[in-house]
Amino acid sequence: MQRSRVRIAKQVRQMLDAARRLIAAKGDEFTTQELVTEAGVALQTFYRYFGSKDELLLAVIADAMTEACERWVEGAAALPDPLARVRYYITSALGRLDGDSHNAAMLRFVVSTRWRLHRLFPKELAEVEMPFVELLRGEINAAVEVGLLNPSDPEWDSWFLGELTRSVFHFYAFADHADGELDDLKEQLWRFCLTALGGSPTRQKGFAQ
């Protein structure tokens, strides 16, 4: 049983990694046959785990979200308080826009493919995107407990801020921007989010004012 689980995990990992390489090269304009060839698996293996190419693409987005959230949690571990971590998560989500060409290809794939997948798998896509909302929610609630924030509704506000961050991210994934513009954008977004959460710059810890 254990060997079977390891084999399944390995085969799925091969296909997800292969899909990422193809996305970097040509977006989502690749065939299922190209995918299995790149992954080194049989076509029947693909259909054992995915009902369609769109299901694979949904899994790729889920994999990228999980990976990003794990990276952000690690990056925020040494920050001094929950408010600092909320800021880090929001600004780091936009930080991916400064990546290399490989990263840019993945970002544009996510943006351009998301809305089509939303029509096909609305419930599943919402679940895929929840890890980021949960990161925000956990730290917002922690900041409330220590008196750093006073949101009207921590549960809903976390979701709204996640959607706002995603919307800004989607716009700038395709829009040209000048040098330094993203730094200004991150600061303006954070100040808006901080105000929406009932916070104030003078109550922040761990950041120079």
Please report, for the domain that includes residue 128, its CATH number. Answer: 1.10.357.10
Which residues form the domain of 24?
1-51
**Confidence at residue 103, expressed as pLDDT on a 0 to 100 scale:** 65
Number of domains the chain is built from: 2
Tens of pLDDT, residues 110-127: 888 888 899 999 999 999
> Could you tell me which residue, 174 or 147, shows the higher pLDDT?
147
Tens of pLDDT, residues 34-55: 999 999 999 999 999 999 999 9
C-beta of residue 98 within 8 angstroms of C-beta of residue 107? no
Do 147 and 108 sit in the same domain of this protein?
Answer: yes
Residues 52 and 60: their CA atoms lie apart, in Å, by 13
Q: Which residues contact 108 (CB under 8 A, 6 or more apart)?
A: 27, 173, 174
| DSSP conformation class of 144 | H
Number of other CB atoms surrounding residue 2 within 10 Å: 6
Q: Is 209 contained in some domain?
A: no
Do 47 and 57 sit in the same domain of this protein?
Answer: no
Task: Single out the residue in 51, 75, 93 at which a domain terminates.
Answer: 51
Query: Where is average pLDDT lowest: 37-46, 58-67, 102-111?
Result: 102-111
Q: What distance separates the 2 farthest-apart alpha carbons in the chain?
A: 59
> Could you tell me which residue, 88 or 107, shows the higher pLDDT?
88
Do 20 and 44 sit in the same domain of this protein?
Answer: yes
Q: Is 124 contained in some domain?
A: yes
Residues 55 and 124: their CA atoms lie apart, in Å, by 10
C-beta of residue 27 within 8 angstroms of C-beta of residue 110? no
**Confidence at residue 165, expressed as pLDDT on a 0 to 100 scale:** 95
How large is the average pLDDT for residues 17-43? 93
pTM, to two decimals: 0.85
**Confidence at residue 99, expressed as pLDDT on a 0 to 100 scale:** 61
DSSP secondary structure, 150-185, as one string: --S-HHHHHHHHHHHHHHHHHHHHHS---TTHHHHH
**Confidence at residue 138, expressed as pLDDT on a 0 to 100 scale:** 96
Give the percent of the chain with pLDDT over 70: 89
Q: Which long-range CB contacts under 8 A does 44-47 form with residues at least 24 apart?
A: 45/11, 46/15
Residues 62 and 68: their CA atoms lie apart, in Å, by 10
Tens of pLDDT, residues 126-168: 999 999 999 999 999 999 999 999 999 989 999 999 999 999 9
Mean of all residue pLDDT scores within the chain: 88
